[in-house]
């Protein structure tokens, strides 16, 4: 027989069982700590070619920076070890954002101090493995904490906007000017702008025809289910071809076409350059566009279509007023995936003379200049993240509008 008064030992045992550390936050905290202990925070070299000396965080950070790292790390750890409660996610989020800000601040501060003390103006301070581990761990921890707060995606975008605003203020104030990555960009401002523009042209130039061809293919697969397996199998086969191999395979046919057909060479079609890059990128983008179109219109309920027809709508009106608005969020999600994929794949196009941000990557590999490689790689990642965020915002806005 049980009494009406709860046993305090039993309640204590239940509380102990209910408590679980934040696995993600604890793992990211340990990863950040391990990165700091095992890897250098910056590399210091006499010039851009020679390999730099790796310097650990504790060798270069000053007292305010160390205090900032300690405070941010302890806050993140406290959030990981706190009992399950919404407050845990707030504490974790604050700790993660603080770690992100302190890491960026200290990196610029250290670069300024080391170059000022260097005997030669050619000395370079590059970002080390510990910096990237700290940055990645802090970003993931912040994203995880904001996601668990269940406040919607707008909170994430707002927090990201605040961090980006802080980063832009620091950059405009010259806080990062002595980092070798920024110096590589400063030495190539005009070339960087040209290659960035070329990268965007290639991405848009591949996206538009891929959408124009992929959407009808997706609708064809939807209306003729018997065609779908063969169609998607063929498009999937293209995806299995390595990007470098596909770029190379197109050199021969396009060279032959430019020799045989008068006028093609005059408009830029040839074995190398933008033409084979665009063809390959369009082929890669066809599958996700067709798949997302098929999935987007397939999820529209037939009863909604029947109701629209029952109201006297024509086929075109049903498509414009009912099917397309309901399918638009899924279509935009597919477009987001395609766009991010194209931004990344376009880097490889630099190998066949198409240009773009990949130019810096391959130039850096040829010159063993890591910071030049990072200039192309980091720019590509930032561009892909920007495109992803913009399309996520548009998709959320459309979904919110559709719920009204």
Report d(CA 223, CA 202) in Å as an integer.
32
Neighbours of 133 (CB within 10 A): 21
Q: For the chain, what are the domain ranges? A: 21-178, 187-402
pLDDT of residue 45: 86
Q: Read off φ and ψ for residue 235, nearest 5 degrees.
A: -70, -35
187-402: what fold? MetI-like fold (1.10.3720)
The pLDDT, as a whole number, for residue 19 is 54
pLDDT given for residue 119 in this prediction: 77
What gap in Å lies between CA 295 and CA 92, rounded to an integer? 37
Report the pLDDT value the prediction gives residue 124, as an integer from 0 to 100: 85
What's the whole-model pTM score? Answer: 0.80
* The pLDDT of residue 304: 84
52 — alpha (psi -120 to 50), left (phi > 0) or beta? beta
Asked whether the beta carbons of 344 and 388 are under 8 A apart, the reply is no
What are the residue ranges in the chain where pLDDT is below 50?
A: 1-6, 10-13, 15-17
* pLDDT value of residue 10: 47
Name the one residue in this structure whose structure tokens are 């850096």. Answer: 364
């Amino acid at each position: 027989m049980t009494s009406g008064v709860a046993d305090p030992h039993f309640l204590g045992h239940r509380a102990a069982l209910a408590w679980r550390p934040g696995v993600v936050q604890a793992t990211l905290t340990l990863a950040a700590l391990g990165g700091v202990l095992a890897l250098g925070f910056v590399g210091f070299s006499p010039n851009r070619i020679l390999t730099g000396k790796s310097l650990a965080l504790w060798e270069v950070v000053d007292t305010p920076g160390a205090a900032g790292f300690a405070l941010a790390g302890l806050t993140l750890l406290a959030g990981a070890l706190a009992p399950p409660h919404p407050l845990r996610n707030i504490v974790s989020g604050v700790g993660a954002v603080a770690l992100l800000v302190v890491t960026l601040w200290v990196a610029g501060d250290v670069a300024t101090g080391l170059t000022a003390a260097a005997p030669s103006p050619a000395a370079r301070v590059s970002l080390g493995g510990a910096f990237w581990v700290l940055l990645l761990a802090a970003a993931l921890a912040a994203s995880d904490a904001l996601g668990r707060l269940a406040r919607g995606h707008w909170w994430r975008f707002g927090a990201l906007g605040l961090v980006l605003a802080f980063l832009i203020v620091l950059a405009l104030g010259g806080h990062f000017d002595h980092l070798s990555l920024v110096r590589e960009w400063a030495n190539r401002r005009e070339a960087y702008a040209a290659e960035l523009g070329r990268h965007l042209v290639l991405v848009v130039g591949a996206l538009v025809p891929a959408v124009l061809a992929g959407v009808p293919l997706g609708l064809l697969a939807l209306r003729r289910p018997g065609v779908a397996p063969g169609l998607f199998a063929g498009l999937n086969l293209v995806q299995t071809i390595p990007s470098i191999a596909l770029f190379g395979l197109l050199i021969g046919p396009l060279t032959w076409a430019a020799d045989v057909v008068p006028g093609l060479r005059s408009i830029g079609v040839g074995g190398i350059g933008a033409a084979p890059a665009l063809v390959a990128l369009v082929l890669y983008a066809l599958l996700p566009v067709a798949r997302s179109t098929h999935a987007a219109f397939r999820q529209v309920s037939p009863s909604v279509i029947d109701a629209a027809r029952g109201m006297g709508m024509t086929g075109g009106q049903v498509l414009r007023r009912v099917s397309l608005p309901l399918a638009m969020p899924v279509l935009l999600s597919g477009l987001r995936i395609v766009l991010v994929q194209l931004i990344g794949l376009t880097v490889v196009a630099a190998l066949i003379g198409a240009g773009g941000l990949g130019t810096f990557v391959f130039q850096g590999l040829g010159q063993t200049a890591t910071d030049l490689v990072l200039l192309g790689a980091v720019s590509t990642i930032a561009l892909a993240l920007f495109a992803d965020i913009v399309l996520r915002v548009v998709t959320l806005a459309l979904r919110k509008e559709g719920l009204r």
